Amino acid sequence: MKQFSLLIIIAAFSTYSFSQTTFTKNSIYLEAGGNGLFGSVNYERQLTKEPGLGVRLGVGFYVENAFYLTIPVGINYLFELKNGKSFIDAGLGVTFTRINGELFGDSKDPNGDNFGNFIPSIGYRRHTAKNVMWRISLSPIINNYGVYPWLGLSIGKQF
């Protein structure tokens, strides 16, 4: 009976050990530039068991004659490059801002109809062995007033 119990424990442990993957679905990270405009704190959730479609929500800021709140939301897709650690990260996002400022809206706009900024992104993303995530991305800002080249740098923790 002891041998049978030991065999069951070893089989259960082996199954548990080999069935785990290094891919985690949740990330929280700081981003300089990118979708949050100047800076943001973001939560991201992958919607699939493997790298693929994900959603993000954040709170950020920009400074232009005053301090303004931004709300970046978006979707992204991770294209795996190798070993489940390197990815091409492609996304589409909208960042809602207070309409005041020359870069992200026009303070002289009498109608105030600029609801936010459309921000597509493409970049490189890396997951480390200690569940640290970092990324660099090209994230141009598109709004009623033009297209502005923009970069994003992110670092955070996966869980």
Q: Assign 3-class secondary structure to the chain.
A: CHHHHHHHHHHHHHHHHHHCCCCCCEEEEEEEEHHHCCEEEEEEEECCCCCCEEEEEEEEEEECCCEEEEEEEEEEEEEEEECCCEEEEEEEEEEEECCCCCCCCCCCCCCCCCCEEEEEEEEEEEECCCCEEEEEEECCEEECCEEECCEEEEEEEEC
* C-alpha–C-alpha distance, residues 42 and 72, integer Å: 8
Residue 18 pLDDT: 45
Question: 97, 105 in Cβ contact below 8 A?
Answer: yes
The CA-based dihedral angle spanning residues 69, 64, 152, 21, taken in that order and rounded to the nearest 10 degrees: -20
pLDDT level of residue 19 (50, 70, 90 thresholds): very low
The answer to pTM > 0.85 is: no
Domains and CATH numbers, the chain: 24-158 (2.40.160.20)
pLDDT tens for each residue of 107-139: 445 555 556 789 999 999 999 989 999 999 999
Q: pLDDT of 38-66, one tens digit each?
A: 999 999 999 988 889 999 999 999 887 77
Residue 140 CA to residue 122 CA, distance in Å, equals 10
